[in-house]
Amino acid sequence: MLIEGIYLDGKTSKRNAARLEVNSNHKITAIHLTEQQKILSFEHQSYVVESRLGNTPREITFDDEQLFVCDNHEEIDKLITWQTSNSSNQYSWLYHLENNSKLIFISTITTVILLYGIVVYGIPSTAKLMAHNVPYFTSAQLFSSLDILDETVFEPSTLPAKRQQEIRTLVAPYLSNHKSLQPKLEFRSGMEANALALPNGVIVFTDDFVNLTQTDDELVAVLFHELGHLTQKHMTQRIIQDAMLTIMVIFITGDVETFDLVTGLPTLLLDLTYSREFETEADTYALTLLNKHDIPLQSFVDAMTNLENYYLKENEGKVLGTVNDFFSTHPKTSERIILVETFKE
């Protein structure tokens, strides 16, 4: 049998029209160079037939980088089936999988379902498990994280020492209920009205936020929300989830170069979705604690409404409000208030 193709010797880029000779024992015996009228013997050479891939040309590589290329898929496939010890055999099922429309349809559906499952259930629950059980992550305490924030965004608080002491006394009993988290309240300024919890147990109230609240109950409601983040180790979970998401995207796209708008945007949106879920979890925790301590749930609603009004005023005149909603790390205030309503029932 003779198979028409091209022969390249691997030493120069000269292309030679060639015929591959396969004898009656299904062994490659020689390559005929048709233009030069020469015959190269391949009796005792080992060779590898590259696996079939789409409509790309078939390649057989020999010792010393010699290469035979041809488009005759049928003959080459025959050659592969005749030899049992060849690694290409194990790849031919891949080609068949890639060319069976039914299997491709099933693969597509399966892949979409699997990816959905991984993103919605797999990654969050694995991250939760890891955050709560793996000792390194549990004891992971970014002890210097407040120092970093102090150097970058925060300024010392300008609240009167008396007011600070009042609030500390107010929250002391609740903090001592959460001893295992080693919570500690700090006051800072330099940021808009905000309250945040760092993984090492530090809860920061900004001056703007303290001035914004009208009752002590509102402060306690927000404190409970931050304690919810700490109890559920949200910061650690988010770090783990982001890492897993990144690795998943690299594996799907195969490289980082395609990490552009098309893949980057969904990754960002997923991260924000995770973030909003954490907020809802922390809200639920806060509402449970408020109930437990017989504090009216309305204080939580008031705190959220105050914050929203504050930010509406801050952002006055700026357009793209709807876009911001889409890219927000927190759920909408109206949704959070609905959560309170459903929680009451």
Partner 1 sequence: MTPSSGISAVQNSINTTKENRSIGFEFRGDGMEYFKIWIVNILLTIVTLGIYSAWAKVRNNRYFYSNLYLDSDNFRYLADPITILKGRLIAVAALIGYYIMSLFLPIVAGGLAIALLFAIPYFINQSMAFNHRMSSYKNIQFRFKGSYGQAFMVIYVWPILGILTLGILYPLALLKANEYFVRNSAYGTSKFDFNATYKDYGMIFLTAIGITIAVGLPVALIAYFVPAFSVISSLLYVAVYFAVIIYVVVSFTNVFYASLGLIEHKFEANLTMVATAKVILTNLFLTIITLGLYLPAAKVRMTKYICSCLTMHTSGSLDNFSAAEKENISALGEEFGQVFDFA
Residues 294-323 that bind partner 1 (CB under 8 A): 319-320
Mind giving me the DSSP string for 113-148?
HHHHHIIIIIHHHHHHHHHHH-HHHHS---TTHHHH
Q: Which residues contact 310 (CB under 8 A, 6 or more apart)?
A: 192, 193, 208, 212
Kindly state whether residue 337 participates in binding partner 1, applying the rule CB under 8 A.
no
Residue 122 C-beta: closest distance to partner 1, Å = 10
Kindly state whether residue 152 participates in binding partner 1, applying the rule CB under 8 A.
no
Residue 111 C-beta: closest distance to partner 1, Å = 5
Q: Which of 20, 21, 28, 66 binds partner 1 (CB under 8 A)?
A: 66
Kindly state whether residue 133 participates in binding partner 1, applying the rule CB under 8 A.
no
Kindly state whether residue 38 participates in binding partner 1, applying the rule CB under 8 A.
yes
Kindly state whether residue 115 participates in binding partner 1, applying the rule CB under 8 A.
yes
Residue closer to partner 1 by CB (options 93, 211) is 93
Kindly state whether residue 8 participates in binding partner 1, applying the rule CB under 8 A.
yes
Q: Which of 15, 27, 132, 344 binds partner 1 (CB under 8 A)?
A: 15
In angstroms, the CA 146 to CA 14 distance is 66
Site for partner 1 (CB under 8 A): how many residues? 72
Per-position x/- string for 75-104, each x denoting binding to partner 1 as judged by CB under 8 A, each - no binding: -------------------x--xxx----x
In angstroms, the CA 239 to CA 145 distance is 14
In angstroms, the CA 244 to CA 236 distance is 13
Residue 26 DSSP label:
S
Residue 337 C-beta: closest distance to partner 1, Å = 29
Name the token pair of 72. 């005759």
List alpha helices for 254-320, DSSP H.
261-292, 298-314
Sites for partner 1 among residues 241-270 (CB under 8 A):
243, 246-247, 250-259, 261-263, 266
- Number of C-beta neighbours around residue 49 at 10 A: 21
- Phi/psi at 80 (5° precision): -65, -45
Residue 190 C-beta: closest distance to partner 1, Å = 23
